[in-house]
């Protein structure tokens, strides 16, 4: 089996798909994996693929033209998911897409499409969860910073949501796990920024900022619960501990 | 009674006025999609966003507070009633605006839910609330979600302003009959509630038509496929629709309403109209208290159905009564909160809005309460075993949706998959169908999953078992937010009414 590997970035993934597609080895003899590869085995041949803008563009164009821009968008979204098989599965869905056209994502009789939809839904839930649970701290007069610890590399999806929500504020959402952040200067477009460990350490300090409104929020949060209906188990089901980690109402 | 002074004790005010607002159930920010704009703060997402869950497991989406807990009325069930000796406070409009904006920027909330006790009189109170909302929309440039509670008895002009400034307007019905209102809320009457409700719904419709939309609110897409839906083609607003339900407050009062869906008429150059906002684009809602008065589940569900049909309400919320005051007309202070009953009513409400059920299919005069052991949908299915099993590969939308374990999303997926190939049990499982429930009611290509006797008592006991395990796992899902999440968070089909 030949295994094409690449880093987690959309252009690299498209290039990787290009290489696999043009290898003509037969689909059963190929697998695509995201780096870092967890365990190398002796029987497989590993080929690392670097970004090649031209190849990536040609795959992107082919998807939009021969399948649809909707499918293209859906697959870019899925590519943020933490599932180990996500890249390989995108590749399989594309093969089906080139054969069946724009309806491919509805064709759940194919297990790869089913798997794609499974990943898409889980990721969708994860993105919604963080859309809800992000908490900004006011760091200075006009700058807000939030920290999250997601499973997937989803800050870009959050950037889109918050750009619409707060177009004229300066803010930043930091993914403490994957060392990346979306940065949004007021009235401009947001951008992705990869962080060094040192930068992350510095940014982590922002989380300890407290002000009058953090306290008022805690007062509200505690008061609004009806004591005759207290139900910590239900609360935990609906807002699990991992998701609360950076929610200020649960911090001391 | 003492009065909290403005200024340094904002914290204390917030505590008093959120404590007083907590019994209102609705906290959803749903119903309208609105993009953000440069120079403003906020947007709105139609599915709604829950930011956190309080210790009682209820979702927090909005800053839910009263403008004031002063009240000249004396509703027996209410903590803020005039005859109670409790600390009182009133927010200034600026205090409320800063709280909303600062919470919003930190992503604590989606917006403001503003209600109030009656300060002096309904007009005075409503004016104060409108002043706050106006400030929030203009000086504070807030473009997020606002839900405002209309004070029964306030003038049409003020209600009109409120609708232009807010996304959703609601008037709490609290009790579904004039008799209960007279007994428990002596300062209120049914006409004072239904009249503004009627005019709000008419004005929403007029505004929608003016911008080229259908007069009635959009409903979950599944309703377009259902023959029997209360929102279907046959459900146009008519006097007959109102007269249809017997023994309901709406019916009696309904005949006294001027005209169905009357509108507010004011010159277009009124100051709030100049903001060019649609009138209550997220629709109108209401709330009923469960268990303070003697209504049956059937009466409640029929009332809801009529509210949806006649006034095109977006939502009806149910609030299990919590005994706060001692009064001979009320349940005793140690009465348990009827959470299970509230839960069943939410399930039934879902069946009306998403499943094409009608109130009178779910309950009847000789069975006016829901079954404690199984949800209303399973209960219906077991009483109609003759309609089952249905063949998944050929059944209609209506028939599939009546299968326990299959929800609207599941039906859509089945229909979509059916176009390309025949569907089997393996695929159903992958689609999120709860086979544990559905297996008794369906065939795939003529075969049942297991060879099971189609026998009422057997199936009922099996389903009660499933229900108990899922309820043990999830405890009782105790408000509508949770039910809402079931449907909207995609695949959570193992809970709620499916
Ligand atoms: S009007 Fe009635 S329900 Fe509303 S705050 Fe006053 S006493 Fe309470």
Query: What pLDDT sits at residue B93?
Result: 96
Shortest distance, CA B473 to any CA of chain A (angstroms): 9
Looking at residue B31, its pLDDT comes to: 86
pLDDT band at residue A92, thresholds of 50, 70 and 90? very high
Q: What is the DSSP string of A145-176?
A: EEEE--SS--HHHHHHHHHHH-TTSEEEEEET
User: Do the Cβ atoms of A86 and A79 come closer than 8 Å?
Assistant: yes
Give the residues across from B146 on adjacent strands.
B112
pLDDT digits (tens, 9 = 90+) for A12-41: 999 999 999 999 888 889 999 999 888 888
Per-residue pLDDT, B143: 96
Question: A211 with B321: CB under 8 angstroms?
Answer: no
- The answer, yes or no, to whether any atom of ligand 1 lies below 6 A from the CB of B173, is no
Half-sphere exposure of B492 (CA within 13 A, CB side): 18
Q: Which among B15, B57, B490 is the nearest to A121, CB-wise?
A: B490
Query: Nearest Cα to A115, choosing from A76, A87, A155?
Result: A87
Residue B498: the pLDDT is 33
Kindly give the number of the ligand 1 atom that is closest to the alpha carbon of B117.
5
Which pLDDT does position A211 carry in this prediction? Answer: 85
Closest to B390 in 3D by CA, of B374, B401, B379: B401
B168/chain A closest Cα distance in angstroms: 19
Compute CA A25 distance to the chain's CA centroid, rounded to the nearest angstrom.
31
Please tell me the distance between residue B71's alpha carbon and the centre of ligand 1 in angstroms. 6
Ligand 1 centroid to B77 CA: how many Å?
9
Q: What is the pLDDT of residue B458?
A: 76
Query: Could you count the other beta carbons within 10 Å of the beta carbon of residue B296?
Result: 15
Give pLDDT, residue B214.
87
Confidence of residue A7 (pLDDT cuts 50, 70, 90): very high
CA B143 to chain centre: 23
Report whether residue B80 contacts ligand 1, using a CB cutoff of 6 Å. yes
Sign of CA dihedral B326, B329, B335, B340: negative
Mean pLDDT value of segment A215-222: 95
Quick one: DSSP state of residue B4?
P
pLDDT score at B483: 40
**DSSP-based three-state secondary structure for B216:** coil
pLDDT for the residue A38? 82
**Cβ B75 under 6 angstroms from ligand 1:** yes
DSSP reduced 3-state for A110 = coil
| B440-471 as b/e: b if 16+ CB within 10 A | bbbbbeeeebeeeeeeeeebbebbbebbeebe
Nearest-atom index, ligand 1, CA of B71: 6
Q: Which has the closest alpha carbon to B92: B172, B1, B9, B151?
A: B9
Task: Tell me if B78 CB under 6 Å of ligand 1.
Answer: yes
From B421's Cα to the closest Cα of chain A, the distance in A is 7
User: Among B110, B488, B77, B145, which Cα is nearest to B290's?
Assistant: B77
**Helix A69-78 and helix A86-100: axis angle, to 10°?**
170
Q: In chain B, which residues have pLDDT < 70?
A: 1-8, 233-261, 267-269, 453-454, 465-498
The SS3 call for residue B37 is coil
Q: Distance from A29 to chain B by nearest Cα, in Å? A: 27
Interface of B with A in 2-21 (CB under 8 A): 10-11, 14-15, 18-19, 21
What pLDDT was estimated at residue B236? 44
Which residues, in sequence order, are bridge partners of residue A143? A140, A170
Question: How far, in whole angstroms, is CA A149 from its chain's centroid?
Answer: 11
Nearest to B107 among A135, A227, A237 (CB): A135
Of B298, B328, B303, nearest in space to B313 by CA: B303
Give chain B's domains with CATH numbers.
10-355 (3.20.20.70), 371-475 (no CATH)
Name the residue among B165, B180, B69, B54 with its Cα closest to residue B119: B69
Share of chain A above pLDDT 70, in %: 100
Binning pLDDT at 50, 70 and 90, where does residue A122 land? very high
pLDDT, position B7: 52
The span from the CA of B493 to the CA of B410, in Å, is: 8
Q: Count of A–B CB contacts within 8 Å?
A: 169
What tens digit of pLDDT does each residue of A144-157 get?
A: 999 999 999 999 99
Mean pLDDT of A163-173: 96
Q: Does A160 touch chain B (CB under 8 A)?
A: no
Closest C-alpha among A195, A240, A251, A185 to residue A218:
A251
CB interface of A with B, residues 118-157, below 8 Å: 118, 121, 124-125, 128, 131-138, 144, 146
Distance CA A51, CA A55 (A): 8
Per residue in B396-439, pLDDT (tens digit) is: 999 999 999 999 989 998 998 898 889 999 889 888 898 988 99
Residue where the block lists tokens 């940014």: A203
CB-based contacts of B281, cutoff 8 Å, min separation 6: B31, B32, B34, B167, B207
Per-residue pLDDT at A22: 93
């Amino acid at each position: 089996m030949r295994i094409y590997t690449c880093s987690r970035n959309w252009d690299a993934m498209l290039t990787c798909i290009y290489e696999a597609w043009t290898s003509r080895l037969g689909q059963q003899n190929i697998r695509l994996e995201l780096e870092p590869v967890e365990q190398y085995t002796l029987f497989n041949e590993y080929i690392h693929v670097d970004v090649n803008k031209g190849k990536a563009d040609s795959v992107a164009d082919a998807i939009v033209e021969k399948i649809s821009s909707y499918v293209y968008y859906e697959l870019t979204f899925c590519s943020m998911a933490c599932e180990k098989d996500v890249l390989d599965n995108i590749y399989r869905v594309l093969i089906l897409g080139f054969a069946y056209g724009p309806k491919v994502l509805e064709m759940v009789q194919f297990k790869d499409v089913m798997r794609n939809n499974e990943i898409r839904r889980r990721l969708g839930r994860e993105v919604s969860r963080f859309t809800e649970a992000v908490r900004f701290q006011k760091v200075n007069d006009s700058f807000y910073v939030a920290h999250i610890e997601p499973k997937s590399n989803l800050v870009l999806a959050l950037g889109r949501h918050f750009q619409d929500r707060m177009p004229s504020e300066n803010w930043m959402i930091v993914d403490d796990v994957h060392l990346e952040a979306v940065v949004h200067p007021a009235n401009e477009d947001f951008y992705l920024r990869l962080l060094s460990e040192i930068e992350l350490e510095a940014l982590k300090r922002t989380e300890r900022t407290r002000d009058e409104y953090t306290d008022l929020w805690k007062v509200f949060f505690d008061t609004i619960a009806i004591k005759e209906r207290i139900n910590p188990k239900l609360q935990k089901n609906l807002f699990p501990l991992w998701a609360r980690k950076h929610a200020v109402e649960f911090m001391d | 009674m003492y009065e909290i002074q403005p200024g340094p004790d904002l914290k204390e005010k917030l505590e008093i006025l959120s404590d007083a607002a907590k019994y209102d159930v609705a906290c959803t920010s749903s119903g309208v999609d609105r993009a953000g704009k440069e120079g403003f703060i906020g947007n709105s997402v139609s599915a709604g966003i829950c930011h956190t869950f309080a210790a009682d497991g209820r979702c927090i989406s909005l800053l839910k507070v009263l403008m004031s807990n002063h009240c000249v009325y004396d509703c027996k069930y209410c903590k803020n009633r005039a005859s109670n000796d409790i600390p009182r406070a009133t927010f200034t409009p600026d205090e409320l605006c800063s709280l909303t904006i600062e919470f919003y920027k930190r992503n604590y909330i989606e917006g403001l839910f503003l209600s109030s006790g009656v300060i002096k009189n309904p007009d005075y109170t409503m004016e104060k609330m409108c002043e706050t909302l106006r400030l929030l929309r203009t000086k504070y440039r807030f473009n997020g979600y606002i839900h405002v509670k209309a004070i029964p008895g306030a003038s049409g002009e003020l209600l009109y302003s409120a609708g232009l400034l807010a996304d959703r307007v609601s008037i709490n019905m609290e009790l579904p009959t004039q008799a209960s209102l007279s007994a428990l809320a002596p300062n209120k009457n049914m006409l004072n509630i239904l009249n503004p409700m009627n005019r709000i719904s008419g004005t929403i419709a007029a505004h929608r038509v003016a911008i080229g939309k259908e007069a009635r609110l959009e409903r979950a897409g599944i309703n377009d496929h259902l023959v029997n839906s209360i929102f279907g083609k046959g459900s146009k607003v008519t006097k007959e629709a109102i007269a249809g339900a017997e023994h309901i407050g709406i019916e009696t009062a309904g005949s006294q309403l001027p005209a169905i869906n009357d509108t507010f008429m004011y010159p277009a150059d009124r100051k709030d109209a100049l903001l060019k906002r649609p009138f209550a684009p997220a629709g109108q809602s209401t709330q009923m208290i469960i268990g303070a008065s003697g209504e049956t589940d059937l009466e409640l569900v029929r009332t809801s159905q009529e509210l949806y049909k006649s006034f095109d309400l977006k939502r009806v919320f149910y609030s299990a009564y919590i005994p706060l005051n001692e009064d001979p007309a009320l349940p005793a202070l140690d009465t348990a909160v009827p959470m299970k009953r509230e839960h069943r009513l939410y399930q039934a409400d879902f069946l009306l809005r998403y499943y094409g059920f009608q109130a009178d299919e779910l309950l009847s005069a000789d069975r006016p309460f829901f079954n404690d052991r199984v949800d209303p949908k399973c209960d219906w299915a077991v009483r109609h075993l003759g309609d089952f099993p249905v063949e998944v590969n050929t059944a209609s939308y209506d028939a599939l949706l009546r299968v326990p374990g299959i929800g609207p999303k599941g039906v859509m997926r089945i229909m979509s998959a059916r176009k390309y190939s025949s569907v089997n049990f393996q695929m159903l499982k992958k689609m999120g169908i709860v086979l544990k429930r559905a297996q008794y009611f369906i065939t795939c290509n003529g075969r049942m999953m297991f060879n099971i006797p189609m026998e009422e008592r057997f199936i009922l006991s099996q389903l009660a078992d499933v229900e108990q395990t899922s309820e043990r796992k999830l405890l009782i899902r105790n408000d509508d937010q949770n039910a809402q999440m079931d449907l909207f968070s995609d695949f959570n089909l193992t809970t709620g009414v499916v």
